[in-house]
Structure 1
């Protein structure tokens, strides 16, 4: 079963994937190996045909996107000439998302009640720029252009660089937080390393439970940011796509949530 050892080492050494992503991708690789799946169109197509019959749509779609990303890596390092996943029939689940909506203004007010200054500024940055958790965690001071009120995102998915705007007050908070530091990670531990991933998530979740009675996760902030830009800021989908660093507008569309889920109310009225 070729390529498995390389991909395992690649994931263990990856610095921009979160721990949850790495854990999920490694699990996908183990399942692939367990089922003797080769990196060929025929083998992969048969594999996904079987998965569709056995697993929930969300699981199948997640695994599809995971193997697509890993196949792209094999092409990048020239272990494969082409990614066979690109010829596997796409997995489509036509489902109306009814995720809980977290209004951005409320989320920001919750964040501002976090006592720890590092995590408070960290999540303010995510909520007001739409950065991914790992993009913010690995942000360097050198990549913030205070004179232009912008920051450069170097650790985006797919090796895509992007520049995003900074709000004036947020820029001032960052400058005050840095306290004269001009190099290194923006958000660091006492030892100078990147902040602890799980501790950051736990602090946000606990503060939200204490303030609003429901959990708030880092990814919710990106979704709220996109929804706010679209509904309140009247921004175009393409503009939001570029700000979030998405390769496809279809991904961005999935981030736009309704202020209230009216579909369920309509269906309930029919069954009354």
Structure 2
């Protein structure tokens, strides 16, 4: 079994990756195989030099981070001794984020209007802790310290454990939601399994379209959470990095959206004056 074959099987059986992530990572592996890229520093560096010239920056950066994660898995599985991606020059794209910003207050208002109580509390947890979708989906009741107001996140990327604080109001709502249950997943289907990924995403997107005329995705909640902590609450990048479970503050920086509306107003004023 080749490294790529192993990684493809690993992605299909790894429960902590969302379907979107699995699809994207498998596509990256196919492109790697198509371009005859080997798991060596020289081959990988040449590959990314090519990507920088041929692909959009977002594509090259996403593929860089994907292969970094997959290389770490090869090391963990003892298929290679060291991850060659760690010696490949990082891809940096300096720009002001121009994607659409969803203020945290707006996302919370949307979540509160979701009819389904399980999905409503599920997304409330994400919006108030910055958890990844799959991390929240796999949260167990045993991981919640109700008296200490904390949550142990066991299924983070890179096998990184972290403990995040919980607000009193959220903890009280979790108590009511769980009733007498003391074990198992917090968010379950009627069969006791993890909630359906597509149904949960659809509930959030549908409510956002009704209220604001634009879709809202689970990842937008993490971005809104990080941006709010940085711009409004005054948290440091290191604090936000630990809450989000990032391995590098550089990744966290990408989650902090600039106040692009203000910047656009400035640019429009300058261009008008120049005319």
Q: TM-score normalised to the size of structure 1?
A: 0.96
Asked whether the equivalents of residues 111 and 123 of structure 1 are also in contact (C-alpha less than 8 Å), the reply is yes
For the residue of structure 2 that corresponds to 1:70, the secondary structure is helix
Asked whether the equivalents of residues 97 and 258 of structure 2 are also in contact (C-alpha less than 8 Å), the reply is no
The correspondence of residues 69-80 of structure 1 with structure 2, limited to 5 A, is 69-80=69-80
Measure, in 2, the Cα distance between the counterparts of 1:40 and 1:259.
41
Task: Summarize the Cα distance change of 1:260–1:58 in structure 2 as closer, same or farther, 3 Å threshold.
Answer: closer
Asked whether the equivalents of residues 97 and 260 of structure 2 are also in contact (C-alpha less than 8 Å), the reply is no
Q: TM-score normalised to the size of structure 2?
A: 0.95
Gap regions ≥5 residues in structure 1: none
1:155 counterpart = 2:155:
yes
- Correspondence for 1:239: 239
For the residue of structure 1 that corresponds to 2:233, the secondary structure is coil
For the residue of structure 1 that corresponds to 2:151, the secondary structure is strand
Shift of 1:111: 0.4
Shift of 1:260: 4.5
Asked whether the equivalents of residues 98 and 261 of structure 1 are also in contact (C-alpha less than 8 Å), the reply is no
Cα deviations across residues 184-217 of structure 1 (Å, max 9, x unaligned)? Answer: 0000111111111111111101101101121111
- Correspondence for 1:106: 106
Q: After TM superposition, which residue ranges in structure 1, 4 or more long, deviate above 6 angstroms?
A: none
For the residue of structure 2 that corresponds to 1:60, the secondary structure is helix
For the residue of structure 2 that corresponds to 1:219, the secondary structure is helix
Cα deviations across residues 119-164 of structure 1 (Å, max 9, x unaligned)? Answer: 0000011111111111000000110111111110000111111111
Measure, in 1, the Cα distance between the counterparts of 2:35 and 2:101.
39
- Correspondence for 1:9: 9
Shift of 1:168: 0.7
Asked whether the equivalents of residues 149 and 166 of structure 1 are also in contact (C-alpha less than 8 Å), the reply is yes
- Correspondence for 2:219: 219
The correspondence of residues 79-228 of structure 1 with structure 2, limited to 5 A, is 79-228=79-228
Shift of 1:265: 2.5
Measure, in 2, the Cα distance between the counterparts of 1:270 and 1:164.
43
Gap regions ≥5 residues in structure 2: none
Measure, in 2, the Cα distance between the counterparts of 1:51 and 1:258.
27
Decide which moves more: 168-177 or 38-47.
38-47
Asked whether the equivalents of residues 71 and 83 of structure 1 are also in contact (C-alpha less than 8 Å), the reply is yes
Cα deviations across residues 36-95 of structure 1 (Å, max 9, x unaligned)? Answer: 111111111121222222211111111111111111111111111111111112212122
Cα deviations across residues 224-255 of structure 1 (Å, max 9, x unaligned)? Answer: 11122222222222111111111111122222
Asked whether the equivalents of residues 155 and 161 of structure 1 are also in contact (C-alpha less than 8 Å), the reply is yes
- Correspondence for 2:52: 52
Shift of 1:219: 0.8
Measure, in 1, the Cα distance between the counterparts of 2:175 and 2:93.
45
- Correspondence for 1:33: 33
Shift of 1:264: 2.4
Shift of 1:262: 2.6
For the residue of structure 2 that corresponds to 1:164, the secondary structure is strand
Measure, in 1, the Cα distance between the counterparts of 2:269 and 2:133.
40
For the residue of structure 2 that corresponds to 1:131, the secondary structure is coil
